[in-house]
Amino acid sequence: MIETPRGAEAKIAYDRATRTFGYVRPLPVGMTYPYDWGFIPSTLGDDGDPLDGLVIHQAASAPGIVIKCDLLGALRVKQKDSGGEALRNDRYVFSPHREDAAEPVAADRVPDDLRREIEQFFLSSVLGTGKT
């Protein structure tokens, strides 16, 4: 399920209690989401939230859209919050199923420079949040 569409300059998140999407915070100056950001319904990570990640595709979307995807890869993330507490908060990279995308990305065809750029996005997107 998409939470924050690509091109957004702010993080948007789904609130399970109210069943609404809401503004969370702006990204650092000059940053936008390079691809759609979303989560896998009915999952739960160590941080208490559903497992989440980027969906690499070129179509326009919006919060609440469900896209059937294949897993391309994962970044193993150990995150520290502003209090110094460490927890595992992995990030995943997805590609829409072939029938749901004009040109789906295959895991064996993700260029190395794109892999590095995605990793850098994850590192940069938490600036100013107290997370490392």
Residue 84 inside a domain? The answer is yes
Residue 130 inside a domain? The answer is no
Residue 6 inside a domain? The answer is yes
For residue 66, give the CATH number of its domain: 3.90.80.10
Residue 50 inside a domain? The answer is yes
Supply the pTM of this predicted model.
0.84
Residue 132 inside a domain? The answer is no
Buried b (16+ CB within 10 A) or exposed e, 50-89: bbbbbbbbeeebebeeebebeebeebeeebeeeeeeeeeb
The residue segments making up the domain with residue 21 are: 2-124
pLDDT 10s digits, 41-83: 999 988 888 999 999 998 889 999 999 999 988 888 888 877 7
Annotate 93-121 with DSSP letters as a single string: EEEE-GGG-SSPPPGGG--HHHHHHHHHH
Phi, psi of 7 (to 5 degrees): 90, -10
Residue 95 inside a domain? The answer is yes
Tell me how many domains the chain contains.
1
